[in-house]
C-alpha cells in the first residue's frame, strides 16, 4: 500500500521498480485468489473496523493502474528514432497498454484509467532531458538505427592490412665512418641521400649521391636518383657497401652536352644542327637511334690479354666490329645488353686487371656478385672518351628518367622560391658608401675611393689587434698566427694528403670545371697546393708564402696578388679568374656520418 503514494522519480530506479512490480504482482495475486470472498466475509464480521471496503478497493485499483503502465514503459535503454528524439517523450497509444486476460477477477475491480495524467507526467520527465536553449541534435548515423542497416562484418572477414616492409641499410662516409639507417622498401636513392644530408647537417645542393662500391671486384658506380635502394642491395655481395659522396657531374651533361659528346664519337641518324638542345633531344627520344662509336681496349673473357677493337653502342646493346671500322650487320658482334646491366668505373684497373690505361670501365650484369671473369672490361684512351661512353650508356638505358630526376630539384626550387627567399627592403638594395671621418658624414661617389675605403675597413680589425699585442706575448688570435691556421677549419682544406689522393678525390666527386681543393705541399712545408679541374683535366697550382714588413702573405702569381690568409685567396678566385684557367666553383668535401 505504500507504493501507491511514492513519487515517480522513486519508482524510476531499477531496484525500487523491481520491488514495486513484485509487490504489485503479489497484491494482485492476493486479490485474484479464490480466498478473496472468505477474506471479505472475515472483514464483515469485525464490526469495530469502520473501514469502507469499497472505497479501499477503489483506491487500490487506481494505484495499481498508475503503477503498472509506468513500470511497463520504463526500459534500461531508450532507442533513437531517425530524427534523433527519444521515444519515451511520446504518449502511449490507446492499445499499447497491456490488458489482463478475459474472465479474471481483475475486471471486477478495474474502475478508471487516468491516461491524461500519465501522459502529462511523461512529458514533464522528457523536458528534463531536453535543453530548452539548444536545438535538438539529429542522429549523425541514422542508418545504424534503421531496420535496413547492414549487419557488422565478422572480424575474420576483413582482409589483413599489408605490413610496411622496412630494412636496415649501412652507409659509409668518405672518412670511413658508418651509419645504419632504417629505410622503407620503396625508398629511392635520392630520398636516402636527403635523409643523410638532414642527419649530417649538410647543405643540400642536389649533388649528393649514393655509390655502389665493390672492393673485391675493384669497381663502383653512382646510383641513379630513381633507383630503389633495397633492390640494388639485393644484387650486392656481402663485402660490397654503399658510400655517401658528392658527385657534381651527375647531371652536368644536361647543362653542356657538347663537352661530353665529341662530334667524332657520336653518329646521329638525323641531321643535327649542332645545337645542344637538339643533341639532347636525340638521346632522350626513344624513336631516335644515336650511336657512340670509337676504339676501345677490350679484355677477353677468361684471359689476361687486352685487344683494341672498334666498338659501337646502340639502344639494342654494345657491339664490336670484327672487320676494321665496318658497321655492317654481318661484321658486328654482340657483347652486352643494356637492360639487365649497369656501367661501372674501375678503381685500380692497371693494378688489378692489367689495364693499358687509367681510364677503364666495365659492364656488369646484376647476377654477377663475386667473380670478375664475367665482367665485360673496357678501357678508353683518355678521360673524355671514358666519360662519353659511360654517359651514353646511362642515357640510352634510362632516357627520360634521368631528365625527370634532373628537373625535380629545379621544379622544387621554383615552387619554394617565394617562401625561402627573404624579401629585401628598398634601402637594403640601395646601399651607398659613406665617409664619417669629418664632423658631418658624406656620400662617397667615386667608385675607386669607395673600394679603397672598404679595403681599409676590412683590415682595420687586424691593425687594432696588432696594437693590442705589441707589449704582451703573442696570443693565439694574433694575426700572424691566425693566418696560418684559420684555413684548417674550412671544408675545402684537406690537410696532408698526397698528389695522387687529391686527384682521386677530384675524380670521385666529378670532373667538372671549377672543382677544387687545397692541401699542404709535400715539397715545401710552408707552401700549399691548389688542385683544380678544368676541361676534365686536373691541374695543380702552388701557393707560396711572402713576408713583407714582418707580416705574412700568400700568393699564386709570384707576389703580384697577395692575401693575408687562404680564406681571402679562395674568396678572391671564386669571383675572379686571375691567373687560373677558370673560377673556383665547387669544393671537394668529406662528411662524417
Q: Is the pTM of this model over 0.85?
A: no
Give me the residue label for grid cell 699542404. 520
- Burial class for 264, CB neighbours closer than 10 Å (0-12, 13-18, 19+): exposed
Q: Which is it for the CA torsion 97, 101, 103, 109, positive or negative?
A: negative
Task: Tell me the pLDDT of the chain averaged across its residues.
Answer: 75
Segment 55-81 shows an average pLDDT of 54
More reliable by pLDDT, 417 or 557: 557
Q: Classify the C-alpha dihedral 495-359-532-521 as positive or negative.
A: positive
**Segment 380-401 mean pLDDT:** 92
- Which pLDDT does position 262 carry in this prediction? 84
| DSSP letter (8 states) at residue 90 | S
Using DSSP's 3-state secondary structure scheme, residue 333 falls into strand
| Cell numbers 689522393: residue | 501
Look at residue 36 and tell me whether its pLDDT is greater than 50: no
The helix/strand/coil state of 519 is: strand
**HEC string for 130-143:** CCCCCCCCCCCCHH
Residue 301's Cβ-count burial label (10 Å; 0-12, 13-18, 19+) is exposed
Beta strand extents in 459-577 (DSSP E only): 515-520, 528-534, 537-548, 551-555, 562-563
- Looking at residue 46, its pLDDT comes to 45
Evaluate if residue 1 carries a pLDDT over 70. Answer: no
Determine phi and psi for 306, rounding to 5 degrees: -115, 145
Average pLDDT, stretch 176-190?
A: 92
pLDDT tens-digit series, residues 355-379: 999 999 999 988 877 777 889 999 9
Mean pLDDT of 427-453: 70
Q: 454 versus 318: which is more confidently predicted?
A: 318
Q: Is the pLDDT of residue 512 over 80?
A: yes
Highest mean pLDDT pick, 20-24, 169-173, 459-463: 169-173
User: Residue 190 has what pLDDT?
Assistant: 94
315 phi and psi angles, rounded to 5 deg: -65, -25
Q: Is the dihedral of CA 451, 455, 456, 461 positive or negative?
A: positive
pLDDT greater at residue 459 or residue 518: 518
**pLDDT at residue 474, as a whole number:** 42
Query: H or E segment at 495?
Result: none
The pLDDT value recorded for residue 240 is 93
Q: How confident is the model at residue 27 (pLDDT cuts 50, 70, 90)?
A: very low
Q: What is the CA radius of gyration of the chain?
A: 47
Q: Which helix (H) or strand (E) holds 374?
A: none
Residue 202 pLDDT level (bands cut at 50, 70, 90): confident
- In contact, 362 and 348? CB cutoff 8 Å: no
Query: Smallest Cα–Cα separation from 586: which of 253, 249, 251, 260?
Result: 249
pLDDT in tens, 295-319: 999 998 878 899 999 999 998 999 9
Render pLDDT for 329-361 as a digit per residue (tens, 0 to 9). 999 999 998 888 999 999 989 999 999 999 999
- Asked if the model's pLDDT at residue 406 lies above 60, the reply is yes
User: Does residue 497 register a pLDDT over 70?
Assistant: yes
Specify the range with the lowest mean pLDDT, choosing from 122-126, 162-166, 583-587.
122-126
Reported confidence tier of residue 468, pLDDT bands at 50, 70, 90: very low
**Percent with pLDDT over 90 in the chain:** 37
Share of the chain above pLDDT 70, in %: 62
Give the model's pLDDT for residue 438: 67
Task: For 234-257, write each residue's pLDDT tens digit.
Answer: 989 889 999 999 999 999 988 888
Residue 487: the pLDDT is 82
The distance in angstroms from the start CA to the end CA of the chain is 89
What is the DSSP code (8-state) at residue 271? Answer: -
Residues 250 and 394: beta-carbon distance below 8 Å: no
Q: 525 pLDDT exceeds 80?
A: yes
E-strand stretches of 357-438: 360-365, 376-379, 434-435
Lowest mean pLDDT among 124-133, 204-213, 364-373, 547-556: 124-133
pLDDT of residue 307: 94
**Amino acid 91: pLDDT:** 47
- Do residues 224 and 211 touch, judged by C-beta distance below 8 A? no
Mean pLDDT of 274-282: 67
Specify the pLDDT at position 442. 79
Q: What pLDDT, in 10s, does the model give residues 72-131?
A: 444 444 444 444 444 444 444 444 444 444 444 444 445 555 555 555 555 665 555 554
Amino acid at each position: 500500500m505504500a507504493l501507491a503514494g511514492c513519487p515517480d522519480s522513486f519508482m524510476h530506479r531499477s531496484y525500487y521498480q523491481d520491488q514495486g512490480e513484485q509487490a504489485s504482482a503479489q497484491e494482485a495475486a492476493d486479490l485474484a485468489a479464490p480466498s478473496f470472498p472468505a477474506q471479505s466475509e472475515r472483514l464483515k464480521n469485525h464490526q469495530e473496523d469502520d473501514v469502507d471496503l469499497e472505497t479501499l478497493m477503489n483506491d487500490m485499483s487506481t494505484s495499481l493502474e498508475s503503477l503498472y503502465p509506468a513500470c511497463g514503459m520504463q526500459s534500461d535503454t531508450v532507442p533513437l528514432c531517425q530524427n534523433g528524439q527519444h521515444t519515451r517523450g511520446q504518449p502511449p497509444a490507446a492499445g499499447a497498454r497491456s490488458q489482463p486476460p478475459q474472465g479474471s477477477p481483475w475486471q471486477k475491480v478495474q474502475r478508471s484509467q487516468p491516461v491524461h495524467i500519465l501522459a502529462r507526467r511523461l512529458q514533464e520527465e522528457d523536458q528534463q532531458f531536453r535543453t530548452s536553449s539548444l536545438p535538438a541534435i539529429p542522429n549523425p548515423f541514422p542508418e545504424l538505427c534503421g531496420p535496413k542497416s547492414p549487419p557488422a562484418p565478422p572480424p575474420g572477414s576483413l582482409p589483413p592490412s599489408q605490413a610496411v616492409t622496412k630494412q636496415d641499410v649501412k652507409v659509409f662516409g668518405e672518412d670511413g665512418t658508418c651509419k645504419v639507417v632504417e629505410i622503407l622498401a620503396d625508398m629511392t636513392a635520392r630520398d636516402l641521400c636527403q635523409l643523410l644530408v638532414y642527419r649530417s647537417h649538410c647543405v643540400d645542393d642536389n649533388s649528393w649521391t649514393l655509390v655502389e662500391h665493390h672492393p673485391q671486384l675493384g669497381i663502383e658506380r653512382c646510383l641513379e636518383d630513381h633507383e630503389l635502394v633495397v633492390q640494388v642491395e639485393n644484387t650486392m655481395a656481402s663485402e660490397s657497401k654503399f658510400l655517401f659522396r658528392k658527385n657534381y657531374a651527375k647531371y652536368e651533361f644536361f647543362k653542356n652536352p657538347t663537352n661530353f659528346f665529341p662530334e667524332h664519337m657520336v653518329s646521329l641518324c638525323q641531321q643535327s644542327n649542332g645545337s645542344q638542345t637538339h643533341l639532347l633531344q636525340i638521346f632522350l627520344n626513344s624513336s631516335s637511334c644515336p650511336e657512340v662509336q670509337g676504339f676501345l681496349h677490350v679484355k677477353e673473357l677468361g684471359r689476361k690479354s687486352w685487344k683494341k677493337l672498334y666498338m659501337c653502342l646502340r639502344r639494342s646493346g654494345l657491339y664490336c666490329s670484327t672487320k676494321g671500322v665496318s658497321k655492317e650487320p654481318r661484321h658486328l658482334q654482340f657483347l652486352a645488353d643494356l637492360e639487365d646491366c649497369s656501367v661501372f668505373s674501375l678503381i685500380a684497373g692497371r693494378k688489378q686487371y692489367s689495364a693499358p690505361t687509367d681510364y677503364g670501365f666495365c659492364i656488369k650484369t646484376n647476377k654477377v656478385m663475386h667473380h670478375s671473369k664475367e665482367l665485360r672490361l673496357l678501357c678508353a684512351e683518355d678521360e673524355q672518351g671514358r666519360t662519353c661512353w659511360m654517359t651514353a650508356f646511362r642515357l640510352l638505358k634510362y632516357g627520360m628518367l634521368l631528365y625527370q630526376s634532373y628537373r625535380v630539384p629545379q621544379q622544387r626550387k621554383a615552387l619554394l622560391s617565394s617562401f625561402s627567399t627573404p624579401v629585401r627592403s628598398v634601402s637594403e638594395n640601395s646601399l651607398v658608401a659613406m665617409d664619417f671621418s669629418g664632423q658631418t658624414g658624406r656620400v662617397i661617389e667615386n667608385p675607386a675611393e669607395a673600394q679603397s675605403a672598404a679595403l681599409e675597413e676590412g683590415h682595420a680589425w687586424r691593425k687594432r689587434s696588432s696594437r693590442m699585442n705589441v707589449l704582451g706575448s703573442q696570443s693565439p688570435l694574433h694575426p700572424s698566427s691566425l693566418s696560418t691556421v684559420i684555413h684548417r677549419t674550412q671544408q675545402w682544406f684537406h690537410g696532408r694528403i698526397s698528389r695522387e689522393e687529391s686527384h682521386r678525390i677530384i675524380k670521385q666527386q666529378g670532373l667538372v670545371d671549377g672543382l677544387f681543393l687545397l692541401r699542404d705541399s709535400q715539397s715545401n712545408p710552408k707552401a700549399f697546393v691548389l688542385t683544380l679541374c678544368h676541361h676534365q683535366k686536373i691541374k695543380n697550382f702552388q701557393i707560396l708564402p711572402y713576408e713583407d714588413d714582418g707580416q705574412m702573405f700568400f700568393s699564386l702569381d709570384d707576389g703580384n696578388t697577395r692575401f693575408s690568409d687562404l680564406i681571402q685567396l679562395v674568396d678572391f678566385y671564386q669571383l675572379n679568374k686571375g691567373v687560373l684557367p677558370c673560377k673556383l666553383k665547387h669544393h671537394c668535401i668529406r662528411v662524417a656520418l
